[in-house]
Structure 1
Amino acid sequence: MATDGVTEQRGYKPFLPMLMSYVASGGSLVLGSAAQLLTFAILARWLGVHEFSVFVAITAVANIAVHLCGLGAMECLVRRVARDRAIYPQMLGHNIILTSGSGAALVLLGAVVLPFFFTLSPDRMTNVAVITLMLVTNILLVRVIVLTEQIFIAHTDFASANKVVVGFAAARTVAAALACIAFGATTVASWAVWQFLCHVLVAVCCMWSVRLLGAPSYRLVREELPQGLYFSIPFILRALRQNADLLVLSLVTTAEIVASYSVARRILESSYLSVEALNRLIYPGSARATAAGLHHALQRVRRVLAAATVISLAAAVTVFVLAPILPYLFGKEYLSLVGFARTLCWVVVPLAMWSVAVEALGASGDHAARAAVMGFGSIAGTGLAAWASWYAPPAGTFISFYVIEIAMVVASWSVFLHFVRRDRQAAITFGSGSA
């Protein structure tokens, strides 16, 4: 009996076009990752230890808030439009409403609260203005730019999506070079203006680039509201976990260890981009393949797992080999950087492995299960990372990192395989009933 939806073809031949697409965009993604790392290096050198630490702290807060901005609406745009492009105007309007509303609320809240914790200027009003400018830049404008990337992914236009990523990274690098090297910016307050102007320019270009795809239809797609929350909350919790260790280390260790660890963490995030790029290419096709059940995409997900593991191993080896040149980029005061980078680089492998499983759950619309895995993992990870960083810094921090990520591999794949068995059994039961 035939099943509805997309049934996956066997063999590796159907997988080749996707791999070719990934290879074709690989050079651009490497350039984008290198540009992000170079931007971080310029800011680390020119802002100095104190200003750079303040910049990292405010950016960390914004990184948490940006996952809440839009309430997860971008995922449903990719998933729904990949299956039916006629729904694009409604999904675009849904995104604009939620992004603008939640973004404005987050910026307002941050502008009220953060000036009590961070001082970027001795003048109170200037301090509030600079922090507000940074929040608008790193929450609202970043969300607009990322939304453009997701719009192109939803339409399977990966070349344009890659141009957005690389163009954004290059623009930030140029802005950092102009601000710090050419014009001598050495404070977060001065960099905030350059950063804002850069993001405005990129956001305007992004909005112009998607104008021909269709105008938005402004209405909420109510059935996607809980799905969006299920999607975004795990990322918020994960962002909290990723900053718990930094916060505790800042209380119990030296500034050099905190600075070197934060740079090593950024390098780890950059090395994961190669895996994230694969997940971006996979997601629309997986959404179509799982429309009639997650079991239809089992072989596809296994192939993705193999590819992600190979890619992450290559990224880890590259970081390990090139680590000795990092002090030349970031400054010789980062004494622990090489050792920290070499210790953390292998974390990308288990991170890549469990990301494949949760991305498959997301593509199939099983966001409650996905949220449970990522949410509970982040909550437990926050406690473990904070305790280990306090008890035995920084060795405990590194051990907790590996324990958390390996546990996530076990949990995510267990849940994924459970849902595969559930959907397969449901299909058999439905087929028997129909017969």
Structure 2
Amino acid sequence: MASEGVTEPRGYRPLLPMVVSYIASGGSLVLGSAAQLVTFAILARWLGVHEFSVFVAITALANIAVHLCGLGAMECLVRRVARDRAMYPQMLGHNIILTTASGVALLLLGVVALPFFFTLSADPVKNFAAIALMLITNILLVRIIVLTEQIFIAHSDFASANKVVVGFAVARTVAAALACIAFSVSTVESWAVWQFVCHVLVAIACMRAIRGLGKPHYSIVREELPQGLYFSIPFILRALRQNADLLVLSLVTTAEIVSSYSVARRILESSYLSVDALNRLIYPGSARATAAGLHHAFQRVRRVLAAATLISLAAAVTVFALAPVLPHLFGKDYVSLVGFARSLCWAVVPLAAWSVAAEALGASGYHAARATVIGLGSIAGAGLAAWASWYAPPAGTFVSFYVIEVAMVIATWSVFLHFVRRDREQAALTFEAGRA
């Protein structure tokens, strides 16, 4: 107990610098979130229900694959470099090797399999090329851009990290506006080219931005391989869970319900960005605070939970209030969108609550425990979401969503508190042994 009091004073004063940083970057983060939503709205309106549903399906698969790309090496970079800046060249090389190897493997697998399921063009060669561009863009190029953001976070350069996020979001919005509004792009095949060029330009800018931080040292940090897998597997399973309901709904309901639900889900993800921004600010400091045990950051995590709850409630209220505006953005064909958005917006509160505990476990290096609770929750959640969506669509889908998120709150915080108690007990035993 004493050690905890020494390492982390009680009260909210220690959190003030992080609050100031969050407020300072708030405008940029809101701009980035708004830009993402506008991009989605432009594509939904100009591509139409059928083409948009194909775009959503391929993007969903790419979102699963992007978590496999790199095998979780980015988290290892943030954690290790936040504790010791001298590790940056080695961790950067570690990331480049794993991202390249896994990214190429995923790309080859995708270009072989996906043309059998998706037709973006009647010409087989053009269909292959369009799918390849979509995969390169949404797996390899996205990974490069996100890696740049994480590099800046590892160096506690949150201003530059926010510039990457906002710049990326604005670039995609500009590309969508030019393609769809100015050049009347209305197919996924044509949009794939525009999206690819946009991501290439952003990736080049990102690589130039990190040149001054140091050159990579190409080697594999072997002890971080299992940690990276433990970190990435929960995201992969969670991505599978998040798409189980969409898959079943596409089989048992209309295209309008599927499209409206996918838009409502994207709005939920955008509203969570305000909480994710807080987690990004907190993570490097939490990695340092937990180096000697998770119990040293217990009060810190409690304060982060309070802040995340308030932020998520504000985000949910905002979405609920602005929901009637959505048909004007996405188009009159999305008739269920207002009701779906209002039904789903409150899920950001339990999502924020359990993400705080999960981030704390990750920052402290307890990736096996973190992977277990999120992985098992995602597997069970995928089954529940699929069954509920089949049994009572779409009401069952919404009910299952809340049941899953509340269950995750209970599970993650139970695991977090278990390791806090264990680390505190081990510290007490070490202290007593030292006195003896």
Instruction: Give TM class, smaller chain.
Output: over 0.9
For residues 235-254 of structure 1, the aligned pairs below 5 Å read: 235-254=235-254
For residues 134-213 of structure 1, the aligned pairs below 5 Å read: 134-213=134-213
Q: Which residue of 2 aligns with 1:324?
A: 324
1:41 maps onto 2:41 in alignment? yes
2:7 aligned counterpart, secondary structure: coil
Amino acid at match of 2:277: A
Q: Which residue of 2 aligns with 1:75?
A: 75
1:352 maps onto 2:352 in alignment? yes
Q: Which residue of 2 aligns with 1:369?
A: 369
1:285-324 deviations in Å (ceiling 9; x for gaps): 0000000000000000000000000000000000000000
Amino acid at match of 2:189: A
Q: Say whether the 8 Å CA contact 2:245–2:386 is kept in structure 1.
A: yes
Give the Cα–Cα distance (whole angstroms) in 2 for the partners of residues 200 and 8 of structure 1. 44
For residues 44-59 of structure 1, the aligned pairs below 5 Å read: 44-59=44-59
1:299 maps onto 2:299 in alignment? yes
Give the Cα–Cα distance (whole angstroms) in 2 for the partners of residues 294 and 266 of structure 1. 33
Amino acid at match of 1:220: I
Give the Cα–Cα distance (whole angstroms) in 1 for the partners of residues 245 and 186 of structure 2. 27
Q: Pairwise CA RMSD of aligned residues?
A: 1.2
Question: Residue 350 of structure 1: CA displacement?
Answer: 0.2
Q: TM-score, normalised by structure 1?
A: 0.99
Which of 41-50 and 7-16 deviates more? 7-16
Which of 121-130 and 222-231 deviates more? 121-130
Question: Residue 12 of structure 1: CA displacement?
Answer: 1.3
Amino acid at match of 2:377: G
2:291 aligned counterpart, secondary structure: coil
Give the Cα–Cα distance (whole angstroms) in 1 for the partners of residues 322 and 434 of structure 2. 60
Q: TM-score, normalised by structure 2?
A: 0.99
Give the Cα–Cα distance (whole angstroms) in 2 for the partners of residues 105 and 11 of structure 1. 49
Question: Residue 9 of structure 1: CA displacement?
Answer: 2.4
Q: Say whether the 8 Å CA contact 2:35–2:170 is kept in structure 1.
A: yes
For residues 276-295 of structure 1, the aligned pairs below 5 Å read: 276-295=276-295
Q: Which residue of 2 aligns with 1:226?
A: 226
1:46 aligned counterpart, secondary structure: helix
Amino acid at match of 2:314: A
Q: Which residue of 1 aligns with 2:414?
A: 414
1:16 maps onto 2:16 in alignment? yes
Amino acid at match of 1:418: H
Q: Say whether the 8 Å CA contact 2:272–2:352 is kept in structure 1.
A: yes
1:394-435 deviations in Å (ceiling 9; x for gaps): 000000000000000000000000000000000001111111
1:118 aligned counterpart, secondary structure: coil
Give the Cα–Cα distance (whole angstroms) in 2 for the partners of residues 185 and 152 of structure 1. 35
Question: Residue 180 of structure 1: CA displacement?
Answer: 0.5
Question: Residue 125 of structure 1: CA displacement?
Answer: 1.3
Structure 1: gaps (5+ residues): none
Q: Which residue of 1 aligns with 2:112?
A: 112
1:428 aligned counterpart, secondary structure: helix
Question: Residue 3 of structure 1: CA displacement?
Answer: 6.0
Give the Cα–Cα distance (whole angstroms) in 2 for the partners of residues 84 and 176 of structure 1. 40
Give the Cα–Cα distance (whole angstroms) in 2 for the partners of residues 52 and 9 of structure 1. 52
Q: Say whether the 8 Å CA contact 2:3–2:296 is kept in structure 1.
A: no
Amino acid at match of 2:59: T
Amino acid at match of 1:313: L
Give the Cα–Cα distance (whole angstroms) in 1 for the partners of residues 120 and 59 of structure 2. 13
Q: Which residue of 2 aligns with 1:314?
A: 314
Q: Say whether the 8 Å CA contact 2:290–2:296 is kept in structure 1.
A: yes
Give the Cα–Cα distance (whole angstroms) in 2 for the partners of residues 8 and 106 of structure 1. 44
Give the Cα–Cα distance (whole angstroms) in 2 for the partners of residues 93 and 254 of structure 1. 47
Give the Cα–Cα distance (whole angstroms) in 1 for the partners of residues 200 and 88 of structure 2. 25
1:227 aligned counterpart, secondary structure: helix
Give the Cα–Cα distance (whole angstroms) in 2 for the partners of residues 283 and 365 of structure 1. 12
Q: Which residue of 2 aligns with 1:7?
A: 7
1:166-213 deviations in Å (ceiling 9; x for gaps): 000000000000000001111101000000000000000000000000
Give the Cα–Cα distance (whole angstroms) in 2 for the partners of residues 190 and 49 of structure 1. 16
Give the Cα–Cα distance (whole angstroms) in 1 for the partners of residues 168 and 126 of structure 2. 28
Question: Residue 2 of structure 1: CA displacement?
Answer: 8.8
Give the Cα–Cα distance (whole angstroms) in 1 for the partners of residues 2 and 157 of structure 2. 31
2:329 aligned counterpart, secondary structure: helix
1:258 maps onto 2:241 in alignment? no
Q: Which residue of 1 aligns with 2:423?
A: 423
Give the Cα–Cα distance (whole angstroms) in 1 for the partners of residues 331 and 272 of structure 2. 24
Give the Cα–Cα distance (whole angstroms) in 1 for the partners of residues 433 and 111 of structure 2. 59
Give the Cα–Cα distance (whole angstroms) in 1 for the partners of residues 208 and 126 of structure 2. 32
Give the Cα–Cα distance (whole angstroms) in 2 for the partners of residues 274 and 254 of structure 1. 32
1:222 aligned counterpart, secondary structure: coil
Question: Residue 10 of structure 1: CA displacement?
Answer: 2.2
Give the Cα–Cα distance (whole angstroms) in 1 for the partners of residues 18 and 117 of structure 2. 47
Which of 326-335 and 6-15 deviates more? 6-15
Amino acid at match of 2:121: S
Question: Residue 11 of structure 1: CA displacement?
Answer: 1.9
Which of 121-130 and 358-367 deviates more? 121-130
Q: Which residue of 2 aligns with 1:394?
A: 394
Give the Cα–Cα distance (whole angstroms) in 2 for the partners of residues 332 and 185 of structure 1. 19
Amino acid at match of 1:380: A
Give the Cα–Cα distance (whole angstroms) in 1 for the partners of residues 141 and 256 of structure 2. 32
1:311-338 deviations in Å (ceiling 9; x for gaps): 0000000000000000000001111100
Question: Residue 13 of structure 1: CA displacement?
Answer: 1.2
Give the Cα–Cα distance (whole angstroms) in 2 for the partners of residues 359 and 7 of structure 1. 20
